[in-house]
Chain A
């Protein structure tokens, strides 16, 4: 049991990752246990002897990747085609909404004929807009000198009447 525990620490021991106390314990055990000394030799050979080489990627890798990228691109184009259908559907829905809003407001006007009524009152009583003077607020910028002039002029006209 003790051997197993010691051997578990061998890589840490070889890499110098252990605190002094544990290092001491291992060295003490190694000095008396031949079997663990042999085990350490093997692990050292494996761990330190392993070449940390870099593998070269094969040339073909780029071409394989390129093919896959190309496939993805085609998928995306196909995806766009599907999206066109979606766009058409959305457009159709929007047209329906616009039409219903317009019809709705017309219907609303028909049901609420206050505007028409106002005009009818004007017509029935033979009143024109001129009778109220010029609607200067529509033509002139408010608080301008021209506005003052106009107010003056229209007031005198109304007064004349």
Chain B
């Protein structure tokens, strides 16, 4: 089935298409959400939200972009909103302050070779501390291997803006990771 057919079935609300779209895009969506959210539980919630948005707002899809680009855009927006909500909840429940103290760097020794899982967690936690847009651009570029042009399309911004976001994201991330050595 090609994209136009999928879109048509979605617009008609044909029920069989939901499973088809799910199977086709679930890996992409789940992985983006996982990277953005940093936990599997949240990635599950976010993914469901993304699919429901895709199914319900297909009428607002304009054929000026690819369906997958549009789906990425929805995923990114849902995850940014989730993150924003989480931050507010965290702040209100004072978890925010605890988490800040518990930085990824403290309990690691710099010269000891790091375990794979530890590396994963450290990078993920550093990622989680980036501003939402920087994080999004970096994830799409590094983990989804999207070109800057595609990222600009997904994020609804310009090419130079994406370049600058990724540049700053890498600077910020290096700063957060290099705290390791200082402590």
Contacts and interface: CB of A to CB of B under 8 A. Distances in A.
Interface of A: 4, 7-12, 15, 17, 35, 38-39, 41-43, 45-47, 49-52, 54-58, 61-62, 64-66, 68-69, 72
Contact of B181 (A15, A38, A51, A64): A38
A65 B51 contact: yes
A10 B48 contact: no
Contact of A39 (B43, B142, B181): B181
Contact of A38 (B110, B114, B167, B170): B110
A7 B149 CA distance: 28
B18 A69 contact: yes
Contacts of B101: none
B51 A52 contact: no
20 contacts: A7-B175, A10-B174, A10-B177, A11-B173, A12-B174, A35-B181, A38-B111, A41-B110, A43-B180, A46-B114, A49-B116, A55-B30, A61-B26, A61-B44, A61-B47, A62-B22, A64-B44, A65-B48, A68-B48, A69-B52
Q: How large is the interface on B (under 10, 10 to 19, 20 to 34, 35 or more residues)?
A: 35 or more
A52 B175 CA distance: 21
B119 A54 contact: no
Contacts of A46: 114, 119, 122-123, 177, 180
Contact of A57 (B19, B27, B119, B174): B27
A159 to B, nearest CB: 73
B102 to A, nearest CB: 18
B69 interface: no
A124 B127 CA distance: 101
